[in-house]
């Protein structure tokens, strides 16, 4: 890993924690973000000469804190005394103000305030906590970058103007905001599992999402507010994460059916299956639990040919009933292809309005290939390649396209 | 502290007597009593700044001197089913506190309440 990559990795790993800590101390999101950005510039200037400090996260926090004080003084937003007072609690233990003690989890709950529209909550959390760029978030949501930039700016303005507190949620807030929080955590996980740009995956985002979900689950259990959907979400993440090592071979994406299953992580699969069984016992299925169950069926099979496709189609039917959306229909069609053949599946796929979604083109390409309609399959791979910006996935698609006969 | 405007909205229109269309006379009486109690409560807790119920929109007059040629017209500016019935101006520590107060006010007056921060109060 060269220097720039190492710095980039540090920044990705530390961004959420540093921003969350500064927001708590400064009470000002924009100021915190700007200060962190300035600290990063300083790091890029100094670290090449001085070396990366032993605790880069703490270095970034301190430097960003100093940048913020400078800025407050320079802009005369508040008097210097106020700035110093704000900074005084720097090394003191966090004030105990409620059930959420982790700064990042507190930030999630602040961003997921019900006074913000759901899509704005998710976008803001990905920006502040995940440190994703506006362009990355826009891609994850399939919306133009300008739309996403407006959403994030608007949310930050509302937090400031309406004085939405950056505070630990109370018990009733935990339950009320859980839905939005879960959406956020799952999107962070997904962005880490298959990053929308660049080199394959961003493991730091996935492990952060898993860490936060585990913490949230433990917290709710301790309040006797156990939520099966949260268990389902954790199971879904674990069963997906378990396959991470088998997903890439020499920088090329390997699809589920071709993965070397001995490289799956048995401990994560075990934990995921236990959670799915616990959900089944509670019997209050929701979308995350069903998706976890689908992944449990996949990970139960010793090899791809042993997959119980009829059970998977049934689970997708159940999921569609709860969450009717074209992406779920597309995934169901993949299972239908295994059960009823590619012709039936293609008829389903072709009536879905997902032209801007590259997995739709990939699915069409694979179905057309199996039907020996090679020219059309080639066109579909081209369309998918034009939309995919992940290098490992592109390499996979180029290989698949190249292996078509004729 | 932030100052908030809590606006009471009559979403389903009002009768000619400026009574909520969805409530019986007994329910209206009860809502007045509950709103009075709510007013006392927020006065006692120090959140109260100012409050008032409004005359019906038919008693409104629009003045438009925005282009320097003053015109005065009878009636409300907006011809909509939803009407502003009254408001509270309160001070609260943050939005969560304001929302909790608005929730009690909404229950008392039997109408939705819009919560909006002031840009600043002179």
Contact predicate A281/A263, CB 8 Å: no
Hey, are the CB atoms on A115 and B99 less than 8 Å from each other? yes
- Chain A nearest-CA distance from B100, in A, is 12
Write down the pLDDT at residue A92.
43
Phi, psi angles (nearest 5°) of residue A303: -140, 170
A86-93 long-range Cβ contacts below 8 angstroms, 24+ apart? A86/A25, A86/A26, A86/A27, A87/A25, A89/A25, A90/A25, A90/A65
pLDDT for A321 beyond 70: yes
Q: Is B2 on the interface with A (CB under 8 A)?
A: yes
- For the cut 60, the answer to whether the pLDDT of residue A98 exceeds it is no
Alpha carbons B29 and B35: distance in angstroms, whole number: 10
Over the stretch B97-108, which tens digit does the pLDDT of each residue have? 999 999 999 999
Mean pLDDT of chain B: 91
Cβ pair B117:A163 closer than 8 A: yes
Q: What is the DSSP string of A136-167?
A: HHHHHHTS-HHHHHHHHHHHHHHHHHTT----
Q: Smallest CA–CA separation between B4 and chain A, in Å?
A: 8
Q: What is the pLDDT of residues A291-312, one digit of tens each?
A: 999 999 999 998 999 999 999 9
Please write the tens of the pLDDT for every residue from A377-399. Answer: 999 999 999 998 888 899 999 99
Residues 6+ apart with CB under 8 A from B64: B70, B71, B72, B73
- Integer Cα distance of A249 and A366 in angstroms: 20
ipTM: 0.87
Q: Which of B95, B116, B119 sits opposite A164 (nearest CB)?
A: B95
Q: Does the beta carbon of B121 lie under 8 angstroms from any beta carbon of chain A? A: no
Partner-chain contact A164 B94, CB within 8 Å = yes
Cross-strand bridge partners of residue B25 = none
Q: Residue A198 forms beta bridges with which residues?
A: A390
Q: Which residues of chain B have pLDDT under 70?
A: 16, 122
Query: By C-alpha distance, which of A236, A343, A341, A339 is closest to A294?
Result: A236
E strand intervals along A5-49:
none
Contacts of A97 in chain B (CB under 8 A): none
Strand B48-53: give its sheet, edge to edge: B48-53, B83-92, B2-10, B113-117
pLDDT at A289: 97
* Mean pLDDT along residues A103-125: 84
Given an 8 Å threshold on Cβ–Cβ distance, is B96 in contact with A162?
Answer: no
pLDDT band (50, 70, 90) for residue A201 = low
Cα distances (Å, whole numbers) of residue A159 to A16, A19, A54, A138, A373: 18, 16, 35, 21, 54
Q: Does B120 touch chain A (CB under 8 A)?
A: no
**Most B CBs within 10 Å, among A113, A163, A170, to test the B interface:** A163
pLDDT at position A83: 53
> For the residues A42-65, what does the mean pLDDT come to?
91
**Statement: residue A30 has pLDDT above 80:** yes
Residue showing tokens 């991470």: A244
Listed ranges A124-128, A140-144, A285-289; the one with the highest mean pLDDT:
A285-289
Count of C-beta atoms within a 10 Å radius of residue A192: 24
CA-nearest of A316, A308, A371 to A344 is A371
Three-state SS for A219?
Answer: helix
User: How near does any CA of chain B get to the CA of A76, in Å?
Assistant: 19
Q: In Å, how far is B95's CA from the nearest CA of chain A?
A: 5
Quick one: pLDDT at residue A28?
Answer: 86
What's this model's pTM, rounded to 2 decimal places? Answer: 0.73
Angle, CA of A125, A131 and A134, to the nearest 5°: 80
Residue A90 is predicted with a pLDDT of 47
Q: What is the mean pLDDT of chain A?
A: 86
Q: What is the mean pLDDT of residues A62-73?
A: 90
CA distance linking residue A98 with residue A85, whole number of Å: 23
Q: Report the pLDDT value the prediction gives residue A101, as an integer from 0 to 100.
A: 60
With 70 as the cut, is the pLDDT of residue A256 above it? yes
pLDDT at residue A199, as a whole number: 55
Judge whether A164 is closer than 8 Å to chain B, CB to CB: yes
pLDDT band at A134 (very low <50, low <70, confident <90, very high): confident
Contacts of A316 (CB under 8 A, 6+ apart): A294, A328, A331, A332, A335
| Selected residues 4-63 of chain B with any CB under 8 Å from a CB in chain A | none
Hey, are the CB atoms on B94 and A115 less than 8 Å from each other? no
């Amino acid at each position: 890993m060269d220097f720039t990559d190492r710095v980039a990795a540090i920044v990705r790993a530390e961004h959420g924690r540093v921003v969350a800590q500064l927001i708590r101390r400064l009470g000002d999101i924009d100021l915190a973000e700007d200060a962190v950005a300035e600290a990063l510039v300083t790091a890029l200037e100094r670290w090449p000469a001085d070396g990366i400090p032993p605790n880069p996260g703490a270095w970034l926090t301190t430097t960003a804190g100093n940048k913020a004080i400078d800025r407050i003084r320079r802009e005369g937003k508040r008097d210097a005394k106020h700035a110093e007072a704000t900074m005084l609690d720097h090394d003191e233990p966090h004030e105990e103000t409620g059930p959420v003690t982790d700064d990042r989890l507190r930030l999630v709950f602040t961003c997921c305030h019900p006074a913000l529209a759901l899509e704005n909550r998710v976008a803001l959390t990905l920006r502040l906590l995940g440190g994703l760029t506006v362009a990355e978030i826009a891609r994850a949501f399939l919306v133009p970058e300008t739309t996403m930039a407006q959403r994030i700016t608007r949310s930050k303005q509302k937090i400031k103007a309406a004085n939405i507190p950056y505070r630990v949620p109370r018990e009733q807030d935990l339950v009320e905001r859980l839905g939005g929080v879960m959406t956020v955590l799952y999107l962070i996980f997904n962005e880490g599992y298959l990053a929308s740009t660049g080199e394959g995956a961003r493991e730091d985002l996935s492990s952060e999402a898993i860490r936060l979900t585990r913490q949230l689950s433990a917290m709710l259990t301790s309040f006797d507010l156990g939520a099966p959907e949260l268990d389902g979400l954790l199971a879904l993440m674990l069963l997906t994460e378990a396959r991470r090592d088998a997903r890439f071979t020499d920088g090329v994406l390997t699809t589920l059916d071709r993965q070397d299953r001995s490289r799956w992580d048995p401990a994560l699969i075990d934990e995921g299956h236990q959670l799915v069984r616990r959900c089944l016992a509670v019997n209050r299925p929701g979308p995350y639990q069903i998706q976890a169950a689908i992944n449990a069926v996949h990970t139960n099979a010793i090899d791809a040919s042993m997959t119980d496709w009829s059970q998977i189609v049934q689970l997708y039917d159940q999921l569609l009933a709860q969450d009717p959306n074209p992406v779920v229909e597309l995934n169901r069609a993949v299972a239908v292809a295994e059960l009823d053949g590619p012709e039936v599946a293609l008829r389903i796929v072709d009536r879905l309005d997902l032209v801007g979604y590259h997995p739709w083109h990939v699915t069409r390409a694979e179905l057309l290939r199996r039907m020996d309609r090679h020219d059309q399959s080639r066109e579909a791979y081209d369309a998918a390649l034009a939309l995919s910006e992940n290098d490992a996935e592109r390499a996979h698609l180029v290989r698949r396209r190249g292996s078509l006969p004729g | 502290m932030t100052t908030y405007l809590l606006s009471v909205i009559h979403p389903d229109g009002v009768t000619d007597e400026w009574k909520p269309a969805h409530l019986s006379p007994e329910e209206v009486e009860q809502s007045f009593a509950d709103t009075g109690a709510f007013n006392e409560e927020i006065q006692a807790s120090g959140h109260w700044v100012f409050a008032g119920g409004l005359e019906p929109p038919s008693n409104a007059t629009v003045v438009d001197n925005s282009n320097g040629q003053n015109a005065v017209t009878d009636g409300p500016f907006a011809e909509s089913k939803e009407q502003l019935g009254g408001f509270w101006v309160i001070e609260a520590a943050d939005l969560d506190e304001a929302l909790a107060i608005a929730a009690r006010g909404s229950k008392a007056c039997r109408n939705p309440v819009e919560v909006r921060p002031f840009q600043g109060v002179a």
